[in-house]
Structure formats: C-alpha cells, structure tokens
Amino acid sequence: MLSNKTIILGITGSIAAYKAAEIASQLTQAGAKVNVIMTKEAIEFISPVTFRALTGNPVVTEMFDLASEFSIEHVSLAKSADIVVIAPATANIIAKLAAGFADDMLCCTVLATRAPVVIAPAMETNMYDNPITQDNLSKLEARNFVIVGPATGWLASGKEGLGRLADINDILGSIRHILDRDGDLAGKHIVITAGGTQEPIDPVRYISNRSSGKMGYALAEAARDRGARVSLITAPTSIPKPAGVDVIKVNTAQEMRQAVENVTSQADALIMAAAVADYRPKSTANEKIKRRDAGLTIEMECTPDILGIVKGNFIKVGFAAESSKLVENAKEKLKQKGLDFIVANDITASDSGFGVDTNRVTIIDREGRIDSLPLMPKRDVAERVFDRVAELLPKPKSR
Ligand code: PMT
C-alpha cells in the first residue's frame, strides 16, 4: 500500500531525532519514496547522511540550497507529497505551524501542501502540558492535522513522564491508515474479536485455550489498512496494540459478549476470530482453592454463544477451529449461527491455526461455495476475508 507513495518526513531538533531513521528505513523498505526535510536544529542531533543513505534521496536542510533540486521551486516537494509526517515535532515547530510561519523549508512545505499532515510531538512534559503548546496542538487538530502521541516514558531530562515520541508502530500505523482512507472499506465500521477468553476458577487460575490473537490482530490491521474504522475486542494476548485501531480488552466470554453487543450497534461487519471458551466454571471461588489429595472436580456450564445470539444489520463472519471433518463441521456452524460465511480453520497441522504466523483455511459461504486456500501468512488470510466482506457490503450509489 505504501509503494509509489511520496512521503515527506520532517525532522526537528529533538533527542528523538534518531528514531526518525527507523521510520525512514521502514517506509523505504515498504516501497515508499521518502524525502527528508531536516531543520537546522535536527542536524545537531543526527546527520543528514544517515537519511540520504536510508532513503536513497537527497535530504533538504536549507531553504536556499542552490545545489538542491527542490530549492528552485520550494513548493515542489509539497506538491509531490501524498503525506507529510513530522517526527519528532518540537514545541517550536508546532508553534510555528499553528501561527503559519514560513521561515524554513519544513514550514513552507507544510503551508504549501494539500496532503494530510501527521505530527508526532516529542518534548519535556512541562513544555507539552503548557497551555500554549496545548492551544497550538488544538489549532492544528482543528485544521485536520493528525496528532500521534506523545507517549509516556523515559525523557531526555532523566525523568519519566508524558512527552516521549510515540511508538514508531503507532506513527507508521497512522500513516498507513491515512493513506488508505480511500480503500475499499473506507467509511465502514468493522468489529473483530481476537484471542482466547479466560474463564476464572479462583483468583489465580482460569480455563483458556492456545489462541495467541495473531489471526484477529492480522484482521484488525488489514481492515485498518483498507480504510475501515476498526474496533478490536481482544482477550488477553502478548501482541502490542495495533495503531489506529480502537482496542477493547476483555477477559471472559461474558465480557466479550457485552463488548460485542455494545460496539456492533453501528457496525458494518463482525468477524469473530476469537477462540471463545465454550464452557466456564459454574462458580468462581473467592479464595485460592487449596490442594487436596482427593483431587478436584469443577462443574462447568456453557458460555453464551456470542455469534449465535448477537443481532443486527451487519455482515457476520465466524471462524471454525476444527481438528476433524473440517468442511462438514464448519457448514453446521455457519447454519447454526446464521453467518454470511465461515472461515474453517484446519488446526491439525503445526503451521496452521493456534499460535503460528501462518494459516490454512477454507472459506464456506451460505450459498454453499467452498474455497480452499493454501497455507499463507495470517495477514494474507485476513486480506482474503476482507475481499469477501467487501463484495458483500452494499455498494455506494452512483450519481
Ligand atoms: O489466535 P491465533 O493463535 O492466531 O489462532 C487463530 C484461531 C485458530 C484461534 C482462529 O483462526 C480461529 O479459528 N478462531 C475460532 C476459534 C473457535 O472458537 O472456533 P469454534 O469453532 O469453537 O467457534 C466457532 C465460532 O463461534 C468462532 O467464530 C467463535 O469466535 C464463535 N464463538 C464460539 C463460542 C462462543 N461461546 N461464542 C462464539 O461466538
């Protein structure tokens, strides 16, 4: 999605300027053309040579650099941009942009561009909290600048606090999200569930399963990158929060049901990749259960069948984790739960299903069409799922 996009990466004078090298590198590796503009303060922190080497493009450091191909028409970069990203953005550049200054190449480019602008602030907590900076950020937001971060953490002052450059994945996620505003899921609200629910036995023990959440998170990122607004309802996992996605954390099947019912009121599609526990202990002990030589019997009851009971005018997609009779069992679930289609998941192979990065699935729809896909990365499975979802969504009326 980033290939053939022109991204202007503005770097200003912050200790976090070194992190811009990773941003430039990742964008370039993803196929984008990255043009870097550095303020003179940024050069005090990191050399333009680094960015020239990482992007393969000249780095603009001076407004009137006669050797630069961009200096003749100083707005040429602005015109070529699909997006402008300033990371890190100091309080100074934020103030200058809010006031409309045009006294350096970065300010001129931002003033002249019609492309979306992302600002990732990085500064001391007090500078960030200062009402002047907050007013400036509000002004920029009101003019549709996208502000990412800052994050809380270790700062150059040696203290911990708010003001650290946002996580690079958050910045990259925002760029992807903005660039694909016109994707085939633009304007759609997609709800996705992920991970294995945890059903408590006592304060320290629970019943769960081997779901890592990888399939659900891959779906969330794919939907986001195709332009959707994504709500990801997730049972506990060790995967970092995907940028540009609303994450709702739950533990139990009952909490997941509640969250699904809350967020699907305006949804266009619900995709349930979560491995929801089918049974939970009938009661949860208040105290840790003591070891007894006689052993322990736990009485279990059914959890709510979320997909089966959730109602609404949206596309419903289930996953079926099967260890035998893949198509037969999945077809039965498709019917029982009233789904538009089901993604039958072969969990018998070590490279497919729970915990791994790849999956082998068969998509079965309510018309009985069966599409068996080869082993592929979970992200590719997610794309195939959304190809189907996009086909089912109502088409915009042509004028
Ligand atoms: O998380 P990973 O490690 O990446 O693994 C991915 C996965 C194997 C968990 C995933 O691809 C998958 O197959 N998810 C569905 C697992 C499952 O619970 O299957 P099921 O056949 O038991 O349930 C069928 C469908 O009903 C599922 O969409 C499930 O979310 C839903 N369900 C199940 C039980 C329940 N009480 N309520 C439900 O809504």
Q: Which residue, 111, 146, 179, sits at the end of a domain? A: 179
Q: What is the pLDDT of residues 287-297, one digit of tens each?
A: 999 999 999 99
If asked whether residues 123 and 219 sit together in one domain, one would say no
If asked whether residues 147 and 208 sit together in one domain, one would say no
**Given the CA of residue 333, which atom of ligand 1 is nearest to it?**
24
Q: What is the pLDDT of residues 24-51, one digit of tens each?
A: 999 999 999 999 999 999 999 999 999 9
Of the pLDDT bands very low, low, confident and very high (cuts 50, 70, 90), residue 399 is very low
Kindly state the average pLDDT of the residues 144-150: 92
Mapped onto helix, strand or coil, the DSSP state of residue 23 is helix
Q: Are 83 and 8 in contact (CB under 8 A)?
A: yes
**Given the CA of residue 320, which atom of ligand 1 is nearest to it?**
21
Task: Please say if the pLDDT value at position 70 is more than 70.
Answer: no
Residue 302's CATH number: 3.40.50.10300
Using CA atoms, how far apart are residues 97 and 4, in angstroms rounded to an integer? 27
Pocket perturbation via mutation, ligand 1, pick of 252, 272, 363 by most ligand atoms within 8 A of CB? 272
If asked whether residues 206 and 171 sit together in one domain, one would say no
Say how many Å lie between the CA of residue 177 and the centre of ligand 1: 27
pLDDT for 291 equals 93
Q: Which of 92, 169, 209, 329 is catalytic?
A: 209
Mapped onto helix, strand or coil, the DSSP state of residue 249 is strand
Give the mean pLDDT of the chain. Answer: 92
Q: What is the pLDDT of residues 234-256, one digit of tens each?
A: 999 999 888 778 999 999 999 99
pLDDT for 346 equals 87
Using CA atoms, how far apart are residues 395 and 386, in angstroms rounded to an integer? 15
Using CA atoms, how far apart are residues 235 and 247, in angstroms rounded to an integer? 10
Say how many Å lie between the CA of residue 339 and the centre of ligand 1: 13
pLDDT for 56 equals 95
If asked whether residues 280 and 311 sit together in one domain, one would say yes
Write out the residue range of the structural domain in which residue 351 sits. 189-392
Omega cis (within 30) before 88: yes
**Given the CA of residue 273, which atom of ligand 1 is nearest to it?**
14
Per the document, the length of the chain is: 399
Query: Does the residue 254 lie in any domain?
Result: yes
Per the annotation, the verdict on 209 as an active-site residue is yes
If asked whether residues 216 and 283 sit together in one domain, one would say yes
Using CA atoms, how far apart are residues 310 and 27, in angstroms rounded to an integer? 40
Pocket perturbation via mutation, ligand 1, pick of 307, 325, 336, 361 by most ligand atoms within 8 A of CB? 307
Query: Does the residue 363 lie in any domain?
Result: yes
Strand 117-121 with 83-89, pairing: parallel
Tokens for 393?
Answer: 């969504």
Higher pLDDT, 73 or 325: 325
Residue 266 gets which letter from DSSP?
Answer: G
If asked whether residues 327 and 203 sit together in one domain, one would say yes
Q: Which residue, 160, 179, 198, sits at the end of a domain? A: 179
If asked whether residues 127 and 219 sit together in one domain, one would say no
